[in-house]
Chains A and B, each alone.
Chain A
Amino acid sequence: MKEYLLLFVGAAIVNNFVLTRYLGLCIFFGVSKNFHASSSMGLAIISVITMSSMLTWVIEHFILIPLGVLFLKTIVFVVVIAVFVQLLEMVIKKFMPTLYNIWGIYLLLVATNCVILGVPLINSEAHFDFIKSTVNALGSGTGFAIALILFASLREKAQFSNIPKSLDGLGIAFILAGMLALAFQGFGGMIPL
């Protein structure tokens, strides 16, 4: 149990995907202009990351490894995740319209995101079993959501500050992201990768 907890906290905070491993930066800057959008995006990322890494684990261990074609995993994972996200979109559009209104566009945005592909690949490199992969994915997704929500809150605050004209907008966002990453660096090494 302790092992899983450590894995979760490690993936969520210590080795945070955005702020220590610098993955998924396009979403990090693109969808962090307001708190509401960023929290919806965070939820979409958590669910897609977790479910797609479960799916890719099954495909890796029941198709790729028995047939000895593990070298195909990157391309296969891309296909699997793209299909899965499409499917998820269709299902929630049909059965949960309220959820679709909140998630809608964000779901398709995450389909080709590097974090979503990164987590299954890292799981595969680290030879995690099924439960460990799932916990790692859940932690990574939570970490991404935490970083995104923190950053969106900072940017909302920054709108009310006196910012030099030249830095207004994306410029100040980059500086804020750097400071946030610096703060997360403080956790560095507490739980190794």
Chain B
Amino acid sequence: MEAIYAIFVMLGLGLFFGFFISFANKKWSVEIDPRIHEVEDALPKGQCGACGYPGCLAYAEAVVTNPDVPANLCVPGKAAVAAKVAEITGKKAESVAAKIAFVRCAGTYEKAVRTAVYKGISDCVSANMIAGGNKGCTYGCLGYGTCVKVCMFDALKMTDEGIPVVNPDKCTGCGKCATVCPRNIITLVDPEIMVKVNCNSRDKGPIVRKNCKAGCIGCGLCAKECPYGAIKVENFLAVVDSSICMEKCSDPVCLAKCPTKAIRPAIWGILPGTEVL
């Protein structure tokens, strides 16, 4: 008798719940645009957030549902992904400006003065909090590799000299390292740029000289030398206007004049001190 009851109870409950769920599914279903998943599949799924949305799904949703969101926001995906997203959403395919991370510091252990021995947590954010870090230069790279740890594409490597180098083949230009650096040393630049200023110091010349042998002292020689006016000295730091530099200049004369060699040709993947001029 019990066995029969058991069969009926299970059968009854199963039928009841089955119909109930299928009814509820019909009644309360939420329509999702199938293109959202198509777009998500097309994205690289690094969840890096370079597009400004929290993860790839959020961007896929925004680009499908909001007509004002452009199809070219995915930086790691570059032009191929932008074209695919534009095709799925029916938006205009715009080109993606390729970007690469650039470490604006050449203050290796050898060249830059360290004022203290830091034995705390091996992390730039916490090192920077203790009396402004243990480097003489308050703008320079601390070398504890917070940017290396945050890079999900394995594109940054910390060298023994205490400055990270960027691997141009792996760097997607997502900008995570730039956000996490407590001293804003890393910026995103165009990979085609001719020259770069390997310094972030806005200190006056004599102070820079005291702290670092590789720093920009703001002498302005490069600015005088450049025939196109692409270089300006702002706050004792040379700044290169990349659009003018890339468009007009084919033979950078500014490089030879720099007394500290802070301005150098743009070569990625090796430390500034080791490149051949």
Which A residues are within 8 Å of any B CB, using their own CB?
63-64, 67-69, 71-72, 75-76, 79-80, 83, 86-87, 90-91, 93-94, 160-162
Contact = CB atoms under 8 A, between A and B. Distances in A.
A75 B10 contact: yes
Contacts of A91: 24, 28
B56 to A, nearest CB: 15
B13 interface: yes
Given A69-B2, A79-B14, A160 B9 contact: no
B126 interface: yes
22 contacts: A63-B9, A67-B5, A67-B9, A68-B5, A69-B2, A69-B6, A69-B9, A71-B6, A72-B6, A72-B9, A72-B10, A75-B10, A76-B9, A79-B13, A80-B13, A83-B17, A83-B21, A87-B21, A87-B24, A90-B24, A90-B25, A94-B28
A69 B24 contact: no
A75 B14 CA distance: 11
Contacts of A63: 9, 13
Contacts of A76: 9-10, 13
Contacts of B126: 160
Contacts of B13: 63, 76, 79-80
A68 B28 contact: no
A134 to B, nearest CB: 22
Main secondary structure of the interface of B (DSSP, over half): helix
Interface string B36-66: 0000000000000000000000000000000
Contacts of B131: none
Contacts of A161: 121
A80 to B, nearest CB: 8
Nearest to A86: B21
A186 to B, nearest CB: 30
A154 to B, nearest CB: 16
A87 B17 CA distance: 10
A155 B10 CA distance: 44
Given A67-B9, A87-B24, A161-B121, 6 more contacts: A63-B9, A68-B5, A69-B5, A69-B9, A79-B13, A160-B121
Interface of B: 2, 5-6, 9-10, 13-14, 17, 20-21, 24-25, 28-30, 121-123, 126
A84 to B, nearest CB: 9
Given A76-B10, A83-B21, A86-B21, A160 B5 contact: no
B124 to A, nearest CB: 12
A76 B14 CA distance: 9
A28 B9 CA distance: 35
B180 to A, nearest CB: 13
A116 to B, nearest CB: 17
Nearest to B126: A160
A131 to B, nearest CB: 25
Nearest to A67: B5
B157 to A, nearest CB: 17
Given A90-B24, A162-B122, A68 B9 contact: no
A67 B25 CA distance: 31
Contacts of A93: 28, 30
A69 B10 CA distance: 10
CB-based closest 6 A-B pairs: A94-B28, A83-B17, A90-B28, A67-B5, A69-B6, A69-B5
A162 B24 contact: no
A155 B6 CA distance: 47
